[in-house]
């Protein structure tokens, strides 16, 4: 069958059909494709078996040009007309019904009035040529890879391998490429090195273990993986490629398959259809063969380096004797022994040994040479420096070979560290024995036998402490000496020791005199290599004094706890940020909670901002030299009125003087405070009662003025003489008098109210002004001259402005009564009351002075006592000055009295308010 028939059968999957009979001039050719063309290159007729494969057939009408039957890239080969194509070989690609084009080669010759184009199939020829080129490229690449891997240095081997993997992947367009080798144990495969294109998935990582899945493949040919290959029996291998298309190429040597070249995400039949399995095996061999050889070389070099390093570190090396009576040493050993030559006579070698060990080594060496007795001996090297510690070596030797090949070989091992450690251990053991013998604690050993612990050793401290010997402290005897109340503790100690491996407990043990000692028992269980108990090692420490002292402390703490809990006072501890850490039951009950709920509560949460600021400011003044502070604090508890506590703080400081905690004791002063407030209010109301006559005058005066103005206006109205200016003047006068009366009434209402809970900042001049608004007119109406010099006074104090008014009113009313009483006896007397203010950097002073003749000096000391009065019975209560004194003291000030030249002088001294 011809090549045209082969292509026809390959593309249509059936035998070629017979050519249709064509009229002349083409006839019926049996092979290829014959085309009859006109002078312009149009196809007039077709003949030959390949015409059935063409995608385009000549129409019955206008002929199509030859380019209509060709693929786009073949149109350049048919430019011009058929007469231009003579004596040329034409390679044309025709469109076909199948997936592949028709590759045909032919020539043209004149035929009648047209041209005959005869073509034959050259597809197989082209394929062989392409395969040859790809094979040559593959071989060249394999030679390049092999050469690079063989000639590179061992240090650059990983980098060069990565470069070659990249070159292979880029040449054959492989997204993921890796080399898989057997692991060091030869039990499975692992990725030695991998390459991934930047847009490819990361199928593998260097060092990734693949297991034994690759062992199930046929190791003689490449293996393809993908959905279209249907390898269901290799699902484990397919998982290595993440179920993507893959290609695995083995590399075999005399040991079998030792490497795989893995191509991932790669459909090899489509990507490299012209490469045969032999080409891939050649490429894998060119990569894996040199790689394995270099890796063996690298492992050998590393092994030699490790051996050399080990010999250098251990100070060891081989030795071998010769028939000439000499000895050869390893170079590293000769350097360690400071020998210039590694070959020297045996006697020179023996001179390196300490004289105390030299003769024994010589004897053992002769015994090895003559009788073949194995040589094992520890010797010291001989050093001329007496202060240098000796170097110990272990020398071993044996006979190797027989007859002419008989040799004495061995090695020398530096065991100086071991010998020195043994000597140090012996010295430490001696010190430990001495320490055990002189230790105040009793060190003991209990042997484990059949689930029980039996005493096996006690240090010498047992005799002075308890007076017993080891024989007297058998297992049963020891239990009998344990206090009856502590025997259960001792049994539990043994169970815990066997269960957990260590124990720490206390119990009482009786000595020979019958007295009991509190012992702190600490023990640890020792086990063998199988984890089974061997013995227990522990110590007894006499803690009798400490235990009794601790019991006394516990009893003391219990008494302190009872004292704190049962105390009627409120006791607590809190941190500098006012967070409570402890409170006794009275304080917890007051706060409507349990003592367990108190820790974490913010004590400052029940205070106003001013109260909290003052409280914290007071704590900052505590020092290790003055750690105590007492004050009265106001709290706003939920669901209650304001509570007043008398509070005493005691600061606790660390070594650097930093405040750590505050211990506080307080008592509820709310009832006393309320009584004081009620007393103050009562005194205030009494003062208002005493001022009733004067206040009535203050109100009647404006009423009289208004009544007279109204009478005059009505009289003018009746006479018809009313003028507008006159009416406006009268109405303005009436309005001013209404405002005057309203001001008096308003101030009476404000003055009669209860004072604020918390003190406020105010100017004392405002209290003087309010006092005069209530008393001035009445005083002047009774002929008392008021001398006021406090206008324009600027200062700020902290307290209650209404209470300061109450004090000033009490002082002025008392002065008025004294002045009026004196005028009764002396009609020419001119009474006056003076009020003036002054201030310095710290205080402000208000003076109230009169000319009433003063106070009897005998009464000055009692004038501020409650219920003390010099007025007639039923006239005064005797509380005015006492309450005034308390008001000024509560504001942090002081009320004092003295006699001046003409009368009494009262001084109200108040501290100026600071910025804090």
- Spacing of C-alpha 137 from chain mean position: 59
Tokens of 750: 């404000």
What pLDDT does residue 35 have? Answer: 85
What pLDDT does residue 521 have? Answer: 92
Beta bridge partners of residue 743, listed in sequence order: none
| Mean pLDDT value of segment 453-467 | 85
Q: What confidence tier does 13 reach under pLDDT thresholds 50, 70, 90?
A: very low
| Better pLDDT: 882 or 769 | 769
What pLDDT does residue 230 have? Answer: 47
Query: What burial letters (b/e) apply to 453-478, b meaning 16+ CB within 10 Å?
Result: bbbeebbebbeebbebeeeebeeeeb
Phi-psi region of 642 (alpha: psi -120 to 50; beta: other; left: phi over 0): beta
Q: What confidence tier does 536 reach under pLDDT thresholds 50, 70, 90?
A: very high
Q: Is the pLDDT of residue 5 over 50?
A: no
Burial zone of 519 (CB within 10 Å; 0-12 exposed, 13-18 middle, 19+ buried): buried
316, 327, 402, 405, 856 from 368: Cα distances, Å: 20, 14, 14, 16, 134
Tokens of 280: 């891939």
Kind of pairing between the strands at 904-911 and 894-899? antiparallel
Question: What's the pTM value of the predicted model, to 2 decimals?
Answer: 0.37
What pLDDT does residue 368 have? Answer: 87
Q: What confidence tier does 500 reach under pLDDT thresholds 50, 70, 90?
A: very high
Tokens of 855: 């106070």
Phi-psi region of 27 (alpha: psi -120 to 50; beta: other; left: phi over 0): left
* C-alpha neighbours within 13 Å on the C-beta side of residue 806: 33
Let me know: does 785 contact 830? Beta carbons within 8 Å: yes
- Spacing of C-alpha 261 from chain mean position: 46
Q: Is the pLDDT of residue 17 over 50?
A: no
User: Quick check: helix, strand or coil at residue 693?
Assistant: helix
pLDDT tens track for 343-386: 888 888 888 888 889 899 889 988 888 888 888 999 988 876 66
Edge to edge, the sheet with strand 246-253 lists 209-211, 189-196, 176-182, 256-264, 246-253, 223-225
> d(Cα 539, Cα 536) in Å, to the nearest integer?
10
Which of 462-471, 807-816, 828-837 has the highest mean predicted lDDT (pLDDT)?
828-837
Q: DSSP for 709-768, please give it.
A: HHHHHHHHHHHT---HHHHHHHHHHHHHHHHHHHHHHHHHHHHHSPPPSS-EEE-HHHHH
| Mean pLDDT value of segment 692-715 | 67
> d(Cα 664, Cα 894) in Å, to the nearest integer?
28
Q: Is the pLDDT of residue 232 over 50?
A: no
Look at the domain 736-911 and name its fold: Heat Shock Protein 90 (3.30.565)
What pLDDT does residue 21 have? Answer: 38
Q: DSSP for 415-445, please give it.
A: -HHHHHHHHHHHHHHHHHHHHHHH-SSEEEE
56 phi and psi, to 5 degrees? -120, 135
Q: Is the pLDDT of residue 19 over 50?
A: no
Q: Would you say the CATH fold of 736-911 matches that of 320-420?
A: no
Q: What confidence tier does 177 reach under pLDDT thresholds 50, 70, 90?
A: very high
**Across all residues in the chain, what is the average pLDDT?**
79
| Better pLDDT: 435 or 63 | 63
Q: What confidence tier does 231 reach under pLDDT thresholds 50, 70, 90?
A: very low
Q: What confidence tier does 483 reach under pLDDT thresholds 50, 70, 90?
A: very high
Within 10 angstroms of residue 491's Cβ, the number of other Cβ atoms is 12
Architecture of domain 439-549: 2-Layer Sandwich (3.30)
What pLDDT does residue 742 have? Answer: 62
| Better pLDDT: 251 or 433 | 251
Which DSSP category does 912 fall into?
B
Burial zone of 517 (CB within 10 Å; 0-12 exposed, 13-18 middle, 19+ buried): middle
What pLDDT does residue 508 have? Answer: 92
> d(Cα 27, Cα 46) in Å, to the nearest integer?
10
Q: How far apart are the first and last CA of the chain?
A: 119
| Better pLDDT: 796 or 701 | 796
pLDDT tens track for 787-800: 888 766 788 888 88
Tokens of 818: 């004294």
Query: What residues contact residue 654 under an 8 Å CB cut-off, 6+ apart?
Result: 660
What pLDDT does residue 3 have? Answer: 42
Find the angle CA(414)-CA(313)-CA(183) to the nearest 5 degrees: 125
Whose CA is closest to 519, among 469, 465, 480? Answer: 465
| Total number of residues shown for the chain | 916
398 phi and psi, to 5 degrees? -155, 165
What pLDDT does residue 314 have? Answer: 65
Query: What burial letters (b/e) apply to 259-278, b meaning 16+ CB within 10 Å?
Result: bbbbbbbbbbeeebebbeee
* Multiple choice CATH, 320-420, 3.40.50.2300, 3.30.450.20, 2.40.50.100, 3.90.79.10: 3.30.450.20
Long-range Cβ contact pairs of 164-171 (< 8 A, separation 24 or more)? 164/287, 165/193, 165/194, 165/195, 165/287, 166/195, 167/141, 168/141, 168/283, 168/287, 169/195, 169/197, 171/137, 171/141
Whose CA is closest to 289, among 131, 164, 156? Answer: 164
Q: Is the pLDDT of residue 31 over 60?
A: yes
Which residue, chain included where needed, has tokens 């009564």? 817
Indicate the range of 26-35, 395-404, 590-599, 647-656 predicted with least confidence.
26-35
* C-alpha neighbours within 13 Å on the C-beta side of residue 309: 6
Beta bridge partners of residue 839, listed in sequence order: 844
Q: What confidence tier does 503 reach under pLDDT thresholds 50, 70, 90?
A: very high
Which DSSP category does 278 fall into?
H
In sequence order, what E strands does 381-527 have? 392-400, 407-414, 442-449, 452-458, 502-510, 516-527
| Mean pLDDT value of segment 776-786 | 82
Architecture of domain 135-299: 2-Layer Sandwich (3.30)
| Mean pLDDT value of segment 461-481 | 82
* C-alpha neighbours within 13 Å on the C-beta side of residue 147: 6
> Structural domain boundaries of the chain?
3-121, 135-299, 320-420, 439-549, 567-668, 736-911
Q: What confidence tier does 228 reach under pLDDT thresholds 50, 70, 90?
A: low
| Mean pLDDT value of segment 743-760 | 58
What pLDDT does residue 578 have? Answer: 86
| Mean pLDDT value of segment 467-478 | 79
Beta bridge partners of residue 253, listed in sequence order: 256
User: Quick check: helix, strand or coil at residue 364?
Assistant: helix
Q: Is the pLDDT of residue 586 over 90?
A: no
* C-alpha neighbours within 13 Å on the C-beta side of residue 660: 7
What pLDDT does residue 1 have? Answer: 36
Whose CA is closest to 121, among 1, 5, 43? Answer: 5
Dihedral sign of CA atoms 859, 864, 867, 872 in order: positive
Q: According to the CATH classification, is domain 3-121 in 1.10.1060?
A: no
pLDDT tens track for 635-686: 776 655 667 777 888 888 988 888 889 888 877 766 666 666 666 655 565 5
Q: Is the pLDDT of residue 149 over 70?
A: yes
Dihedral sign of CA atoms 814, 815, 818, 819 in order: negative
| Better pLDDT: 762 or 792 | 762
Which residue, chain included where needed, has tokens 């990734």? 208
In sequence order, what E strands does 99-175 have? 102-111, 114-121
What pLDDT does residue 688 have? Answer: 57
What pLDDT does residue 547 have? Answer: 85
Q: Is the pLDDT of residue 129 over 70?
A: yes
Tokens of 492: 């539990």
pLDDT > 90 fraction of the chain, expressed in percent and rounded: 9
Q: According to the CATH classification, is domain 567-668 in 3.30.450.20?
A: yes
Tokens of 392: 């110990």
């Amino acid at each position: 069958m011809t090549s045209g028939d082969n292509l026809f059968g390959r593309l249509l999957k059936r035998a070629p059909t017979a050519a249709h009979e064509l009229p002349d001039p083409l006839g019926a050719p049996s092979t290829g494709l014959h085309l009859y063309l006109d002078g312009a290159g149009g196809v007039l007729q077709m003949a030959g078996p390949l015409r059935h494969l063409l995608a385009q057939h000549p129409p019955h009408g206008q002929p199509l040009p030859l380019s209509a039957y060709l693929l786009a890239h073949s149109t350049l080969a048919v430019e011009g007309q058929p007469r231009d194509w003579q004596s040329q070989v034409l390679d044309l690609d025709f469109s076909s019904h199948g997936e592949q084009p028709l590759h045909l080669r032919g020539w043209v010759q004149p035929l009648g009035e047209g041209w005959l184009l005869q073509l034959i199939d050259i597809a197989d020829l082209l394929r062989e040529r392409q395969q040859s080129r790809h094979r040559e490229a593959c071989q060249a690449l394999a030679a390049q890879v092999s050469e690079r891997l063989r000639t590179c240095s061992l240090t650059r081997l990983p980098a060069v391998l990565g470069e070659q993997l990249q070159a292979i992947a880029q040449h054959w367009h492989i997204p993921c490429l890796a080399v898989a080798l057997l692991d060091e144990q030869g039990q499975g495969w692992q990725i030695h090195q991998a390459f991934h294109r930047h847009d490819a998935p990361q199928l593998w990582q260097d060092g990734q273990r693949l297991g034994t899945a690759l062992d199930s493949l046929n190791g003689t040919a490449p293996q393809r993986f993908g959905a279209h290959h249907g390898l269901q029996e290799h699902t484990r291998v397919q998982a290595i490629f993440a179920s993507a298309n893959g290609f695995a190429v083995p590399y075999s040597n005399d040991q079998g398959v030792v490497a795989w070249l893995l191509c991932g995400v790669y459909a090899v039949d489509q990507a490299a259809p012209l490469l045969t399995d032999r080409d891939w095996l050649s490429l894998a061999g060119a990569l894996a063969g040199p790689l394995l050889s270099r890796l063996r070389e690298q492992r050998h070099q590393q092994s030699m380096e490790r051996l050399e390093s080990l010999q250098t570190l251990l100070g060891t090396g081989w030795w071998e004797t010769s028939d000439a009576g000499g000895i050869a040493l390893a170079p590293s050993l000769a350097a360690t022994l400071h020998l210039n030559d590694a070959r020297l006579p045996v006697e020179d070698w023996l001179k390196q040994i300490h004289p105390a060990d030299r003769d024994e080594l010589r004897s053992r060496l002769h015994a090895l040479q003559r009788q073949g007795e194995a040589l094992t001996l520890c010797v010291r090297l001989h050093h001329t420096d007496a202060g240098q510690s000796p170097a110990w070596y272990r020398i071993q030797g044996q006979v190797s070979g027989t007859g002419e090949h008989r040799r004495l070989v061995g090695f020398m091992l530096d065991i100086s560290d071991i010998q020195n450690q043994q000597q140090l251990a012996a010295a430490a053991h001696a010190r430990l024995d001495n320490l055990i013998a002189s230790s105040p604690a009793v060190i003991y050993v209990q042997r484990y036998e059949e689930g029980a612990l039996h005493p096996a050793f006690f240090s010498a401290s047992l005799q002075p402490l308890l007076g017993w010997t080891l024989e007297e402290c058998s297992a049963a005897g020891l239990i009998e000496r344990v206090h009856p109340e502590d025997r259960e503790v001792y049994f539990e100690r043994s169970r815990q020791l066997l269960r957990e491996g260590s124990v720490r407990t206390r119990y009482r043990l009786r000595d020979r005199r019958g007295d009991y000692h509190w012992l702190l028992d600490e023990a640890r269980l020792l086990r063998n290599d199988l984890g089974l108990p061997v013995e227990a090692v522990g110590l007894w420490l006499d803690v009798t004094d400490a235990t009794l002292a601790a019991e006394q402390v516990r009893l003391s703490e219990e008494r302190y706890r009872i004292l704190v809990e049962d105390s009627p006072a409120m006791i607590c501890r809190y941190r500098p940020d006012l967070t409570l850490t402890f409170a006794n039951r009275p304080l917890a009950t007051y706060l409507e909670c349990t003592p367990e709920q108190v820790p974490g509560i913010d004590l400052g949460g029940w205070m106003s901002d001013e109260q909290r600021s003052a409280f914290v400011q007071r704590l900052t003044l505590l020092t290790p030299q003055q750690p105590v502070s007492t004050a009265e604090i106001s709290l706003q508890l939920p669901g209650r009125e304001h509570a007043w506590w008398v509070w005493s703080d005691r600061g606790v400081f660390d070594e650097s003087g930093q405040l750590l905690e505050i211990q506080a004791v307080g008592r509820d002063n709310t009832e006393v405070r309320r009584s004081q407030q009620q007393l103050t209010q009562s005194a205030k109301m009494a003062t208002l009662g005493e001022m009733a006559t004067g206040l009535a005058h203050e109100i009647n005066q404006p009423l009289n003025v208004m009544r007279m103005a109204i009478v005059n206006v009505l009289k003018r109205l009746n006479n018809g003489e009313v003028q507008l200016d006159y009416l406006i003047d009268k109405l303005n006068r009436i309005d001013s008098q209404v405002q005057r009366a309203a001001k008096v009434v308003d101030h009476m209402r404000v003055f009669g109210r209860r004072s604020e809970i918390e003190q406020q900042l105010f100017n004392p001049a405002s209290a003087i002004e309010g006092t005069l608004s209530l008393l001035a007119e009445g005083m002047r109406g009774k002929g008392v001259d008021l001398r006021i010099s406090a206008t324009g006074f600027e200062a700020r104090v902290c307290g209650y402005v209404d209470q300061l008014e109450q004090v000033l009113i009490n002082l002025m009313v008392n002065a008025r009564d004294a002045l009026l009483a004196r005028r009764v006896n002396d009609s020419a007397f001119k009474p006056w009351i003076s009020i003036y203010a002054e201030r310095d950097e710290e205080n402000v002073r208000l003076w109230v002075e009169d000319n009433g003749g003063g106070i009897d000096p005998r009464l000055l000391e009692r004038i501020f006592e409650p219920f003390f009065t010099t007025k007639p019975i039923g006239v005064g209560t005797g509380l005015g000055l006492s309450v005034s004194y308390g008001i000024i003291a509560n504001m942090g000030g002081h009320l004092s009295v003295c006699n001046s030249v003409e009368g009494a002088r009262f001084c109200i001294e108040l501290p100026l308010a600071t910025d804090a």
